[in-house]
Structure 1
Amino acid sequence: MGLFSFIKNAGAKVFGIGKTDKEEQAEAEAAELKLEEMAAIKLKETVQDLDLKVEGLTILIDDDKATLSGKAADQSTREKVILVVGNSDGIATVDDQMTVEHKEPEAQFHTVVSGDTLGKIAKKYYANAMKYPVIFEANKPMLSDPDKIYPGQVLRIPALD
Structure 2
Amino acid sequence: MGLFSFIKNAGAKVFGIGKTDAEEAAEAKAAELKMEEMAAKKLEETVSDLDLEVTNLNILIDDDAATITGEAKDQATKEKVVLLVGNSDGIATVDDQMTVAEAEVVEPEAQFHTVVSGDTLGKIAKHYYGNAMKYPEIFEANKPMLTDPDKIYPGQVLRIPALD
TM class by smaller structure: over 0.9
User: Is residue 140 of structure 2 the alignment partner of residue 137 of structure 1?
Assistant: yes
Q: CA–CA distance in 1 between the matches of 2:71 and 2:45?
A: 16
Q: Who is 1:146 aligned against?
A: 149
Q: CA–CA distance in 1 between the matches of 2:8 and 2:148?
A: 58
Q: CA–CA distance in 1 between the matches of 2:8 and 2:136?
A: 65
Unmatched 5+ residue regions in structure 2? none
- Report the aligned-residue RMSD: 1.3
Report deviation, 1:6: 4.0
- AA at the equivalent of 1:69: T
Q: CA–CA distance in 1 between the matches of 2:9 and 2:124?
A: 59
Query: Structure 2 length as normaliser, TM-score?
Result: 0.93
SS of 1:44's partner is helix
- AA at the equivalent of 2:162: A
Unmatched 5+ residue regions in structure 1? none
Q: Who is 1:46 aligned against?
A: 46
User: Percent of aligned pairs with the same residue?
Assistant: 83
- AA at the equivalent of 2:30: A
Count how many residue pairs are aligned between Structure 1 and Structure 2: 161
Q: Who is 1:85 aligned against?
A: 85
* Deviation digits for residues 123-147 of structure 1 (CA, Å, limit 9, x no counterpart): 1111111111110100000111111
Q: Who is 1:12 aligned against?
A: 12
Report deviation, 1:16: 2.5
Report deviation, 1:17: 1.6
Question: In terms of mean alpha carbon deviation, does 3-12 or 93-102 score higher?
Answer: 3-12
- AA at the equivalent of 2:115: V
Report deviation, 1:3: 4.4
Report deviation, 1:7: 4.0
Report deviation, 1:15: 3.3
Q: Of residues 126, 135, 148 in structure 2, which corresponds to 1:123?
A: 126
Report deviation, 1:5: 4.2
Q: CA–CA distance in 1 between the matches of 2:123 and 2:99?
A: 32
* Deviation digits for residues 45-79 of structure 1 (CA, Å, limit 9, x no counterpart): 11111110100101011111010000000000000
Query: Structure 1 length as normaliser, TM-score?
Result: 0.94
Report deviation, 1:107: 0.2
